[in-house]
């Protein structure tokens, strides 16, 4: 039996990359939430 080397990314690699990107976006949202709320309140308060 001859094993061939696959070229390109597998589905698992795409899922791992997607999970990392989503995790980074969520972490950024949690970190920036207080700043965004303060900025919104300052911009729209009278």
The pLDDT value given to residue 3: 66
What global pTM score does this model have?
A: 0.61
The pLDDT value given to residue 40: 83
d(CA 5, CA 10): 12
The pLDDT value given to residue 41: 84
Count the residues in the chain.
46
The pLDDT value given to residue 10: 87
Cα dihedral across residues 11, 7, 4, 13: positive or negative:
negative
Token pair for residue 35? 């700043």
Q: Where are the domains of the chain?
A: 13-46
Token pair for residue 19? 């999970």
Token pair for residue 25? 């976006």
The pLDDT value given to residue 4: 65
- For the segment 1-46, what is each residue's pLDDT rounded down to a tens digit? 566 666 667 888 999 999 999 999 999 999 998 888 888 888 887 6
């Amino acid at each position: 039996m001859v094993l061939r080397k696959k070229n390109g990314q597998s589905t698992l690699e795409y899922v791992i990359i997607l999970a990392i990107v989503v995790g980074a976006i969520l972490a950024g949202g949690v970190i920036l939430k207080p700043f965004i709320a303060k900025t919104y309140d300052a911009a729209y308060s009278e």
